Structure 1
Amino acid sequence: MMFSRRRESSGRHARGNDNRRARPSDFVETPEPESVPTVGPYDVSEAPGGVQRLDLGSLQIPAIEGVEVRVQANPDGAVQQVVLVHGDNALQLGVFAAPRTEGIWEEVRAEIRKSLFDDGVAAEEINGEYGIELRARVRTPEGLTDLRFVGVDGPRWMVRGVYQGPAAADPVNAGPLVACLHGLVVDRGHEAKPVREPLPLRLPRELAEQAHAEGAAQSAEPQPAAAPTVNGAGPSQPSRRKPSPRPRP
């Protein structure tokens, strides 16, 4: 696992964006319930046990061989972005509050499509594993990039995934990223939240404390000149390929 820690006052090229590896203690195992759905994302109340997962609070991500978890977090440990990477493919994950009685993906999908259209991008609706998905091709500094938006409605939550790379053009190419989505667990919590509000994500305590300590140490050091960007990716980016941000629900 990698994460980049964002420092509020140091600019987009601050040294504070470091990479760290998750330790075994950062992973949790969910107890085995009496019965479970065959495929996730699962609600925490029905998640299968005996699976090692990275606990980010509202999301628990299964540990799948070959898949790198990239997390961007604030100095206090609050996670702003989660991206899973395997080879040339990436899957950006978001989780949002939803009503108790109905899903919101259909409405969110329509708004994403309109937003793409307003940017001059045509989006195609296709049938996918979880129902209707959106597929689009957008222009980035690296050239034309395929995106595929997937939505999964759960009990009072919605997971949105954005595939990028060959997996966006053809789901057959998604490889182990599909296994990550199948094994994802959502811990919605019981408190009331506005519909579409992002559910809180946090680094495991040990990683958050490590990031906070290093941030305090680095703030006392002289800051070097900012590193140059490469095709729009700053020094905090482990890869030159990154998913294009899309409108939140």
Structure 2
Amino acid sequence: MFGRRRKRSEEDVEKLDVAAEELAEDTAEDAEDAAVSRVSLPPAPRPDGPWDVSEVARPAEGRVDLGGMFVPGVEGMELRVEVAGDAIVAATVVLRDSAVQLQAFAAPKKEGIWGEVREEIAGGITRQGGVVDEVEGPLGWELRAQVPVQLPDGTNGVQMVRFVGVDGTRWFLRGVISGQGAVKPETGSLLEAIFRDTVVVRGEGPMAPRDPIVLKLPEDAQMVPDGVQQDEAQGSRFAGGADRLQRGPEITEVR
């Protein structure tokens, strides 16, 4: 009798082991399927912007023409451009104690990349020792991050940053919100409105997905260069140098 019971117990253990293996395989497959579906989704509708240039009758009205983007003008703001090599690839709107860096990239026609980009940015910041939370905010899914930075006195500190993004028509617009708009997201509504009302000019020429859409200076811009160039953050070209956000060349007298 005892021998039979022991035999049944061994068989039960074997069955449990097989069931556990099958469950683990199913879980892994489900996670893989979820990841694939997440990064292969088509661009979502954009009823509130940002806009493609084909969707706006007068894109220059109330906006600063940067070639690849038309950035809304807001009273009291400063507009700074960020350079990579000899090309202008991003614009930063500074408004009081907050800022939003805007950068547009080429993207596939029928596939959004923001889900995949979020994973890349989050992974890069985590590897640097930062902390990232993915939340659904006013602009959709975003990352709210605590990014390690070096303070002016040489000590190490943490900077709060929000990463927002929207997939468009063969383009992707990424925003990096810093300052009070990141520390207290409820105060960032004006920066969010600037992001929403930005117009992207992808152009008809061939571009590889993820290539930055190059910008240009306005014809009447008055530049105050300081020699700072914006490098790519370690881990993702989309992170916008978040580990070393610095003052870039500045366009003055923007109204």
TM range (shorter): 0.5 to 0.7
Distance 1:198 1:57, change over 3 A: same
Q: Counterpart of 1:193?
A: 207
> Any residues of structure 2 matched to 1:71-150 within 5 Å, and which?
71-73=81-83, 78-142=87-151, 143-150=157-164
Deviation string 1:58-78 (CA, Å, 9 cap, x unpaired) is: 1100111122111245897x4
Aligned residues of 2:69 and 2:198 also touching (Cα < 8 A): yes
| Structure ranking higher in helix proportion | 2
Q: 1:39 aligns with which of 36, 48, 67?
A: 48
CA–CA distance in 2 between the matches of 1:162 and 1:65? 20
| TM-fit CA distance, 1:236 | 5.4
Contact kept? 2:109, 2:169, Cα under 8 Å: yes
Q: Distance in 2 between matches of 1:85 and 1:45?
A: 27
In structure 2, C-alpha distance between the alignment counterparts of 1:148 and 1:112, rounded to whole Å: 11
CA RMSD between the two structures: 2.9
Rounded Cα–Cα distance in structure 1 between residues aligned with 2:232 and 2:114: 17
* Runs of 4+ deviating beyond 3 Å: 72-76, 234-237, 243-246
* Percent of matched pairs sharing the same residue: 40
Looking at structure 1, the residues matched to 130 and 57 of structure 2 have their Cα atoms a distance apart, in angstroms, of 40
Closer, same or farther in 2 for the Cα pair 1:244/1:135, shift >3 Å? farther
Among 164, 169, 172, the alignment partner of 1:158 is: 172
Instruction: Specify the alignment match of 1:226 in structure 2.
Output: none
Q: Which has the larger radius of gyration?
A: 2
Which 10-residue stretch deviates more, 45-54 or 196-205?
45-54
What secondary structure sits across from 2:206 in the alignment? Answer: coil
In structure 2, stretches of 5+ residues that fail to align are 1-45, 152-156, 239-255
* Contact preservation (8 Å) 1:123, 1:135: yes
Q: Which deviations, in whole Å up to 9, do the C-alpha atoms of 1:60-111 show, x marking residues without a partner?
A: 00111122111245897x4143111111111111100000011100011101
The answer on whether the counterparts of 2:80 and 2:92 sit within 8 Å (CA) in structure 1 is yes
Q: If the length of structure 1 is used for normalisation, what is the TM-score?
A: 0.66
DSSP-derived class of the 1:65 partner: coil
When the two structures are aligned, how many residues end up with a matched partner?
Answer: 185
Tell me by how many angstroms 1:235 deviates: 5.0
TM-score (norm 2): 0.64
* Alignment match, 2:237: 248
Check whether the contact 2:84–2:231 (CA below 8 A) recurs between aligned residues: no
